[in-house]
């Protein structure tokens, strides 16, 4: 029977024989992920009716209690940009608030009406990213020091695996299925952002492209690249087939697997850039709405 052999590593947190700047990666990752988490939390609370957040977002609207749609709260919220034209109104909805669920709906218990719309939906994207294979590697190193780095001594003696609370990581495939549902929803938001509805004569000017719509377009592309390159998605489309050429379905699976594999090769890049862009899209919408910055219509619309 083989015996386990311990490598001759230096003892003490961060001690190592490595001579490269091994600490730069995890430190930068901790700063990046920390910033994203703080920003998303701040914005998630902003439209809630609690503490001083009530003064910031939609809950400070006079008509918030009876709001049923975008237009009801369009002048005093930071979730979406309302774009007026002679044809009607389009809107650029923040991906942090999509799909938009109004807390004060009849099917939601009154005790939960103080929640922000983002709180109903962010749990799923957060679960998807939190259980992602790439992010796990990143935040185990950046935040948990498990490990601190390859051949670098960590503060804990042993590695106990993904037990206890970490069994939730096994839900990644479920979160992936839910994340797939978000893609058509975000694409629909993109459609709404270019559709200056209610044009009485149906002319071409009823459509327009603003800076906000381009930001939403890039957001859909980046999130699609991230989601379809997911390891679990690749396994779903590529697994369970002994033959990739026999039927149309098998050929389609093979094509999907090849696309997913290509995206998967840069999964880290898709993961990090798409996260930044979701936050940036929300940031753009927030500052436009809160600080009176115009979302310029570049083509059509007005
Ligand atoms: S492994 Fe990263 S999203 Fe699935």
Question: How far is 189 from 180, CA to CA, in rounded Å?
Answer: 15
pLDDT band, very low/low/confident/very high, at 138 (cuts 50, 70, 90): very high
pLDDT higher than 80, residue 185: yes
pLDDT tens-digit map of 91-115: 899 999 999 887 777 788 878 887 8
C-alpha 123 – ligand 1 centre gap (Å): 16
Return the residue whose CA atom lies nearest to atom 4 of ligand 1. Answer: 230
What confidence score (pLDDT) does residue 204 get?
46
| Cβ < 6 A, ligand 1 pocket | 132-134, 172, 176, 230-232, 267
| CA of residue 2 to ligand 1 center, whole Å | 35
Task: For residue 209, report the distance from its CA to the centre of ligand 1, in Å.
Answer: 32
Question: Is the model's pLDDT at 150 over the cut of 90?
Answer: no
- pTM score above 0.85: yes
65-87 burial code (b ≥16 CB/10 A, e <16):
eebeebebbbebbbbbbbbebeb
User: pLDDT tens for residues 117-132?
Assistant: 888 899 999 999 999 9
Residue 70 has pLDDT above 70, yes or no: no
Instruction: State residue 89's pLDDT score.
Output: 67
Pairing between β-strand 80-85 and β-strand 208-210 as defined by DSSP bridges? unpaired
pLDDT digits (tens, 9 = 90+) for 230-248: 999 999 998 877 888 888 8
Closest ligand 1 atom number to CA of residue 230: 4
* pLDDT, tens only, 11-51: 777 778 888 888 899 999 999 999 999 999 999 888 887 77
For residues 251 and 243, what is the distance between their CA atoms, to the nearest angstrom?
9
Q: With helix as H, strand as E and coil as C, how does the chain read? A: CCCCCCCCCCCCCCCECCCCCCCHHHHHHHHHHHHHHHHHHHHHHHCCCCHHHHHCCHHHCCCHHHCCCCHHHCCCCCCEEEEEECCEEEEEECHHHCCCCCCCCCCCCHHHCCCCHHHHHCHHHHHHHHCCHHHHHHHHHHCCCCCCECCECCCCCCCCCCCHHHHHHHHHHHHHHHHHHHHHHHHHHHHHHHECCCCCCCCHHHEEEEHHHHHHHHHHHHHHHHHHCCHHHHHHHHCCCCCCCCCHHHHHHHHHHHHHHHHHCCHHHHHHHHHHHHHHHHHHHHHHHHCCCCCCEEEECC
Instruction: Give which of 38, 33, 46 is closest to 118, Cα–Cα.
Output: 46
Ligand 1 atom closest to the CA of 271, numbered from 1: 2
Going by CA atoms, what residue is nearest to atom 2 of ligand 1?
132
Which pLDDT does position 132 carry in this prediction?
A: 97
- By most ligand atoms within 8 Å of CB, the mutation choice from 137, 232, 235 for ligand 1 is 232
């Amino acid at each position: 029977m083989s015996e386990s052999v311990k490598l001759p590593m230096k003892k003490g947190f961060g001690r190592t024989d490595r001579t490269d700047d091994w600490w730069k990666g995890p430190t930068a990752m901790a700063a990046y992920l920390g910033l994203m988490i703080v920003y998303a939390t701040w914005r998630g609370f902003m439209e809630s009716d609690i503490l001083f957040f009530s003064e910031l977002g939609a809950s400070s609207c006079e008509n918030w209690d009876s709001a049923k749609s975008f237009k009801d709260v369009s002048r005093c919220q930071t979730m979406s940009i309302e774009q007026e034209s002679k044809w009607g109104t389009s809107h650029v909805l923040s991906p942090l608030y999509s799909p938009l669920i109004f807390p004060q709906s009849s099917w939601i218990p009154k005790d939960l009406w103080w929640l922000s719309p983002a709180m109903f939906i962010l749990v799923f994207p957060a679960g998807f990213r939190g259980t992602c294979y790439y992010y796990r590697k990143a935040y185990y190193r950046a935040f948990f020091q498990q490990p601190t780095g390859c051949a670098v001594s960590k503060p804990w003696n042993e590695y106990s695996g993904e037990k206890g609370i970490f069994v939730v990581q096994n839900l990644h495939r479920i979160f992936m299925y839910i994340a797939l549902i978000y893609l058509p929803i975000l694409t629909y938001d993109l459609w709404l952002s270019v559709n200056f509805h209610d044009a009485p004569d149906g002319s071409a000017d009823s459509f327009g492209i603003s800076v906000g719509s381009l930001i939403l377009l890039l957001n859909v592309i980046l999130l699609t690249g991230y989601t379809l390159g997911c390891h679990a998605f690749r396994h779903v489309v590529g697994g369970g087939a002994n033959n990739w050429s026999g039927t149309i379905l098998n050929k389609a699976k093979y094509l999907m697997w090849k696309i997913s594999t290509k995206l998967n090769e840069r999964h880290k890049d898709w993961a990090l850039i798409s996260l930044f862009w979701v936050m940036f899209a929300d940031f753009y919408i927030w500052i436009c709405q809160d600080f009176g910055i115009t979302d310029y219509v570049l083509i059509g619309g007005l």
